[in-house]
Structure 1
Amino acid sequence: MVILTRNPVHSVLYLVITFFTFTVHYVLLNAQFLAVVNFIVYMGAIMVLFLFVLMLLNLNKETEPMKSTLVKVMGAIAGMCLLVTVAGSIRVLEVSNPVVLKHPDIGLVGNLGKVLFSEFLLPFELSSILLLTAMVGAVLLAKKETKAI
């Protein structure tokens, strides 16, 4: 639906649904940290940025140029190539026994926190200080100077 929808805002909203399915798959694969990062970064920040850009562009039918028949033919050829690739992939696919993880706790956020605050404490704290100084610098650069009387 992301590709087939004509309205760009609806296309972005379908992309949000696609990213949500990625998040669900990460949870099912026991990769909780990736699920949280995907949810916050992609669904939160990047999709909001896409929506802002689309609304700033103010696309309508009068401003969008008419597509030539060459572009339509090339799109149909690319779609057929994608269809052949997907059909070949499905044909080769074989169902096997489920995969059993040797270390089922490897993707959990608690274990990541233990490693982050034990072995990598110094780099973690240095990066937090670096981000804090960058935030303070951005605030100082954006601050308007007031003239003293």
Structure 2
Amino acid sequence: MEPSDIYYERKVEKKVKKYVTKGFKIFFMIVMGILFIFLMGFVFMWLWNWLMPDIFGLTTLTYWQSFGLLLLAKIIFGFGSDSSGPGSKKSKKHKKWDNFCDPKNGGSDWTYYDQYWKEEGKKAFSTYVERIKKEENNGSTEEN
């Protein structure tokens, strides 16, 4: 066997091992997800039968009724998408705001805003309001 054949075999073995491991992880996650869903049905049934008959006078539920109620609630109220996850719109807006306020991007200028407003802002705003009022008055006198 040549060295290039050995290298190629090891590379293929590595890829196969990687994909087999990944397949087992996916299979394990699917099995655990299914077990979790069925366990949630049991927990929901236990909590319902413990609380609801005594508090509200409702009847007890069977396992499949509680599982159906959970499924119905998920359909009505959504499947719990996390809106603050890495790909969400909320996250993207938050990143934009963070980048805007980042001192490295010049966002640190906002730290001087309060000081500016105290020193020059009130005067500048008063001047702006006077100019707008004059423009409105000039516009109304020209129309007459």
TM-score, normalization: structure 1? 0.24
- In terms of fraction of residues, the more helix-rich structure is 2
TM-score, normalization: structure 2? 0.25
Answer 1 or 2: higher relative contact order, Cα 8 Å, separation at least 6. Answer: 1
